[in-house]
Amino acid sequence: MERWTKIRVSRLGRAVSAHRWLRTTAVVAATAVLLASSCSWQLGNPIPQGVPPPPGDPVPPVNTELVAGRPADQLYHWAAERAAMLDIPVTALEAYAYAARVAEVENPNCHLGWTTLAGIGQIESHHGRYNHATVARNGDVRPKIRGVRLDGTGGTLHIVENLQPDLADDDGVVRAMGPMQFIPETWRLYGVDANNDGIVSPDNIDDAALSAAGYLCWRGKDLATPKGWMTALMAYNESEIYARAVRDWAAAYAAGRPL
């Protein structure tokens, strides 16, 4: 995610709290104007055809209130039946499906499909496999995936991290982090612990997928509408080409295949 949001929300660490965080009431209401103006893409622009993409196979009900163990494990059989034909690691597919299921339970007006999260995950990191990385059963991605330096060159933003220097290069310049490519400031605001290991990590695909779900739901409000879906995707990465690519991958996953 190459965008730098300044929207202040509650910092939440535990998985149960993360679920509550998905409700829009967790965000300070005074930021509504900033939210509406932070993206240069205007809603009057033509919306691409095929938006939103299909939501894909329904995710079965799971217990979204588990406080011990990895909640996404509940979706192992569902994911294992589909992972090979989609070319998505089982653990990553569990993470996307669980995040979408939590969004459905906690914010039913959002209508976020797991296919959209999978489309983002494919483009951002090949589902945690970029540069020969692998996804462990607890969701950790190793080696850690980092994007280009956001130092203001090559058309990038110039972003310096002051609060957590360990999340930046030695000179403070940041890179997008993890399988869903969050920048540190956005991660501080939206990051959650989805696998109940007590760590809020952008390098864990469970944490990253659920955090992305919350971000998309807040920004797009109703992703079942073309306007809502495009607003969410353009907030995630301000590029219509990017949004179209996510659309295409999501539509392919809904059809039961990779693009």
Tens-digit pLDDT profile for residues 176-227: 999 999 999 999 999 999 999 999 999 999 999 999 999 999 999 999 999 9
Question: Is the per-residue pLDDT at 242 higher than 60?
Answer: yes
Which residue is associated with the tokens 């030695």? 170
Task: Quickly list H helices, 107-204.
Answer: 114-125, 184-190
What is the rounded CA–CA span in Å between residue 31 and residue 25? 12
Residues 195, 206 contacting (CB under 8 angstroms): yes
Q: What is the pLDDT at residue 46?
A: 84
Residue 27 pLDDT exceeds 70 = no
Which residues does residue 151 pair with via DSSP β-bridges, in sequence order?
158
Question: Using one digit for the tens of pLDDT, what is the confidence trace for 83-110?
Answer: 999 999 999 999 999 999 999 999 999 9
Mean pLDDT score, 161-190: 91
Distance CA 35, CA 43 (A): 13
- Checking if the pLDDT of 144 tops 70, the result is yes
Examine the pLDDT at 3 and tell me if it is beyond 80: no
Residue 165: what pLDDT? Answer: 83
What are phi and psi for residue 103, nearest 5 degrees?
Answer: -60, -40
CA distance 12 to 20: 9
CA dihedral of 183, 186, 192, 197, whole degrees rounded to 10: 30
For residues 29 and 7, give the distance between their C-alpha atoms in angstroms, rounded to a whole number: 10
pLDDT at 9 over 70: no
Distance of CA 187 to the CA centre of its chain: 11
Fill in the DSSP letter of residue 12.
Answer: -
The answer on pLDDT for 157 being more than 90 is no
15 touches 67 (CB < 8 A): yes
Inter-residue contact 114 to 55 (CB < 8 Å): yes
What is the C-alpha separation between 57 and 69, in angstroms, rounded?
25
Please state, in angstroms and rounded to a whole number, the distance separating the CA atoms of residues 28 and 23. 11
Residue 161 — very low, low, confident or very high, per pLDDT cuts 50/70/90?
Answer: confident
Residue 155 banded pLDDT, cuts 50, 70, 90? confident
Q: Using one digit for the tens of pLDDT, what is the confidence trace for 30-82?
A: 223 223 333 444 555 789 999 999 999 999 999 999 999 999 999 999 999 99
Task: Tell me what pLDDT residue 42 has.
Answer: 56
Q: 12-23: per-residue pLDDT in tens?
A: 233 334 444 443
pLDDT at 41: 47
pLDDT value of residue 44: 59
1 three-state secondary structure = coil
Q: Is omega for the bond preceding 184 within 30 degrees of 0, making it cis?
A: no
The 8-class DSSP code of residue 51 comes to -
Domain boundaries, the chain: 15-25+50-57+70-254
The residue with tokens 């972003």 is: 159
User: Tokens 């894909």 identify what position?
Assistant: 56
> What span, in angstroms and rounded, lies between the C-alpha atoms of 187 and 107?
20
- CA nearest 112: which of 14, 218, 203? 218
